[in-house]
C-alpha cells in the first residue's frame, strides 16, 4: 500500500493507518469478503489450480510396486480490477489529525467501495470490473412458487456435498430475507422458520448455516456459498491519495481511495443458487 500526497492530516497517514481506515472496514462490511476466503497478492494476477481428475488409487499387495497415476490439473487465472472512491472535504478537515475526522472521511469511501465490490460479486460480469458469482456454472435448486420451508436449503446443502463442498453461508436480498423471516415452522406455530445465533443478536441461520443479506442479490434468489471454493482476491496496493488541485478555488481537497479486487470460483458446481431456473 502507498500514499501519494504531501499534505498534513490525512496526508500524513502511514500505510498501516490506511489499512485500518480503508482495508479493514471494507473487509468487515463487504458481504463478498465475509463469505469467501481472502487471497492477498502482490502480483498482477492470481492463479488457482483446478483438479480435473484425481489420481487413481488401488488395493496393492504388501511389498508390491504402487502403480503411479498423474493428477490432472487445469488453472483459473483472475486479474484484480481497480475500484475507486472519491470524496471532497474541506481543507480544515483534511488537515485535522483527530482520529474522528479521519474516520468520517474514511467511512464514506468505505461505503462507496463496499457497494461496488458487492454489486460486482453478485453480478455475472461488470464493465471494467471482475466477473462475479452470477457467471459461474453453479447448481440450482428450483423453488417453483416460492420458499415455504427449509427443504430448498437442505437440497442446496446436499447438492454441494455431492460435489465435495460445504456451504458456509447463504445470501439473499433484504426483501427475500424479510419474507423468510415471517415464515413459521408449521401452520399455527409462532416459532420462526429461521434460526437465531445466540452469540450474535440479530444474526439468522438456516439449518445451522448463516443467512446474510445484500441488496445486490436479485430478489427471490438465495446464493449458497462455500468458503473453501470461493475467493476474493485483494492486491496489496490499496492507496489513499489527496489533492487540492481541482478544488483550489473552493478551499477543498479531493480524497481518493483505490483498491484492486477480483473473485475466483475454482469449483463452480460447489456454488448453489436457490431460485427460479435461469431464463425462466
Q: pTM here?
A: 0.83
In a domain, 58, yes or no: no
Q: Which residue has the higher pLDDT, 226 or 194?
A: 226
Confidence label for 228 from pLDDT (cuts 50, 70 and 90): very high
Q: What is the pLDDT of residues 237-272, one digit of tens each?
A: 888 777 767 667 667 777 788 999 999 999 999 999
CATH number of the domain that 260 lies in?
A: 3.30.2400.10
pLDDT at site 87: 77
- In angstroms, the CA 174 to CA 184 distance is 18
Q: Which residue has the higher pLDDT, 8 or 56?
A: 56
In a domain, 184, yes or no: yes
**Averaged pLDDT score across all residues of the chain:** 83
User: Which of 6-10, 125-129, 165-169, 253-257 is predicted with the least confidence, judged by mean pLDDT?
Assistant: 6-10
- In angstroms, the CA 150 to CA 163 distance is 21
Domain hosting 7: range is 2-52+70-275
pLDDT at site 267: 92
Q: Which three cell numbers stand for residue 97?
A: 489529525
Q: What is the pLDDT of residues 44-89, one digit of tens each?
A: 999 998 866 666 777 888 888 887 766 666 789 999 999 988 877 7
pLDDT at 15 exceeding the cut of 60:
no
pLDDT at 5 exceeding the cut of 50:
no
In a domain, 280, yes or no: no
Ordered DSSP codes for the chain: -EEE---SGGGG--HHHHIIIIIHHHHHH-HHHHHSEEEEESSS-EEEEEEEEPPPP----TTSPPPP-PPEEEEEEE--EEEEEEEEEEHHHHH---HHHHHHHHHHHHHHHHHHHHHHHTSS--TTS---GGGS--EEEE-TT---SSHHHHHHHHHHHHTT----EEEE-HHHHHHHHT-BSSTT--SBSSEE-TTSTT-EEETTEEEEE-TTSPTT-EEEE-GGG-EEEEES--EEEEE-STTGGGTEEEEEEEEEEEEE-SSGGG-EEEESPTT-
pLDDT at site 226: 97
pLDDT at site 134: 96
Q: Are 152 and 274 within 8 A, CB to CB?
A: yes
In a domain, 213, yes or no: yes
pLDDT at site 44: 93
pLDDT at site 215: 97
Q: What is the pLDDT of residues 166-216, one digit of tens each?
A: 999 999 999 999 998 888 766 666 677 777 666 666 678 899 999 999 999
Confidence label for 125 from pLDDT (cuts 50, 70 and 90): very high
pLDDT at site 50: 82
Query: Structural domain tally of the chain?
Result: 1
Closest to 101 in 3D by CA, of 205, 200, 8:
8
In a domain, 128, yes or no: yes
pLDDT at 114 exceeding the cut of 60:
yes
In a domain, 60, yes or no: no
Q: Which three cell numbers stand for residue 181?
A: 423471516
Amino acid at each position: 500500500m502507498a500514499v501519494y500526497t504531501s499534505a498534513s492530516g490525512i496526508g500524513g497517514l502511514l500505510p498501516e493507518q490506511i489499512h485500518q481506515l480503508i482495508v479493514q472496514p471494507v473487509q468487515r462490511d463487504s458481504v463478498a469478503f465475509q463469505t469467501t476466503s481472502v487471497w492477498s497478492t502482490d502480483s498482477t494476477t492470481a492463479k488457482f489450480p483446478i483438479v480435473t481428475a484425481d489420481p487413481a488409487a488401488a488395493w496393492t499387495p504388501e511389498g508390491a510396486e504402487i502403480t503411479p497415476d498423474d493428477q490432472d490439473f487445469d488453472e483459473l487465472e483472475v486479474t484484480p480490477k481497480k475500484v475507486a472512491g472519491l470524496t471532497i472535504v474541506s481543507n480544515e478537515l483534511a488537515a485535522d489529525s483527530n482520529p474522528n475526522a479521519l474516520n468520517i472521511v474514511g467511512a464514506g469511501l468505505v461505503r462507496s467501495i463496499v457497494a461496488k465490490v458487492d454489486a460486482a460479486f453478485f453480478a455475472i460480469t461488470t464493465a471494467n470490473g471482475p466477473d462475479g458469482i452470477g457467471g459461474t456454472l453453479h447448481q440450482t435448486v428450483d423453488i417453483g412458487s416460492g420458499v415455504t420451508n427449509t427443504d430448498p436449503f437442505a437440497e442446496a446443502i446436499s447438492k454441494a456435498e455431492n460435489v465435495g463442498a460445504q456451504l458456509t453461508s447463504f445470501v439473499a436480498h433484504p426483501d427475500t430475507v424479510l419474507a423468510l423471516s415471517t415464515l413459521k415452522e408449521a401452520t399455527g406455530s409462532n416459532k420462526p422458520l429461521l434460526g437465531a445465533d445466540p452469540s450474535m443478536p440479530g444474526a439468522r441461520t438456516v439449518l445451522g448455516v448463516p443467512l446474510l443479506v445484500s441488496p445486490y442479490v436479485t430478489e427471490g434468489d438465495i446464493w449458497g456459498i462455500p468458503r473453501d471454493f470461493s475467493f476474493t482476491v485483494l492486491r496489496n496496493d490499496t492507496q489513499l491519495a489527496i489533492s487540492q488541485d481541482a478544488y483550489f478555488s473552493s478551499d477543498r481537497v479531493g480524497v481518493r481511495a483505490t483498491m484492486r479486487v477480483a473473485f475466483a470460483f475454482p469449483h463452480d458446481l460447489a456454488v448453489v443458487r436457490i431460485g427460479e431456473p435461469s431464463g425462466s
